[in-house]
Structure 1
């Protein structure tokens, strides 16, 4: 993974671990149109231990699944929604794997403070609902933090 921008590799990791805004994933449809989708994500260590990857969960029948099966290249962004803005964007490759036990989804329900007992969680965790894990392997990441130049425009929690 190639790291660019004003944030170090460890600062980028911190942003991704601490930010619970959804990841925005851009891909192409089979008709070669651009498509953007927001998904919950979690940071996962890669098998080599040096890098990380991003994992999302979605329904096996979601449009983005068929789009990514046809063309696996993606762009992505995770950024704060309130000033001063900061975030991480990049590009990479996505893979799709079945998640019959909904392990990724369960982890995301906890990460986004929904829990597994809410009405939303019960709906998503229905036994008959097929779930997949979308794993994004970043090739290039770019981190930024505009706190210095935005100064008094807002406060970071």
Structure 2
């Protein structure tokens, strides 16, 4: 595996978002979306920083400069506290190589640099061992299982993982 970098989401990343919209990638996040829904998601990803609603990034594998996934953070209120929620997706042919963990660590650094929230949370399905492993390897602590609404209108059983953004970064 080469180095993993993140770069701000751009207009050029719509095709990557379409590639990530496949059953094996979206199995634990409500299933695939219509192309219209993907285009709406692309708009949200692009407007996030403008509206102060977090930041999405493309995951780029170096030195080839191949875009292999997405990662990001966005504000939410969790148990009456302002936090960042984090999420990620990696194309199937690049999974299992530590890419998601490296990308999550990089996005934690980006959220930490903002300095405006104490906690980052991730809510992978309890049935999604790879994403739960990413949380553990990226330094999150398991708070426990919870009912989490995603997609909107649907409850899923998730693990609540959190990371203290005010604690010194490891390494």
Same fold by TM-score greater than 0.5:
no
Q: Report 1 or 2 for greater relative contact order, CA contacts < 8 Å, sequence distance ≥ 6.
A: 1
Structure with bigger strand share is 1
Provide the TM-score with structure 2 as the length reference. 0.30
Which of the pair has more CA radius of gyration? Answer: 1
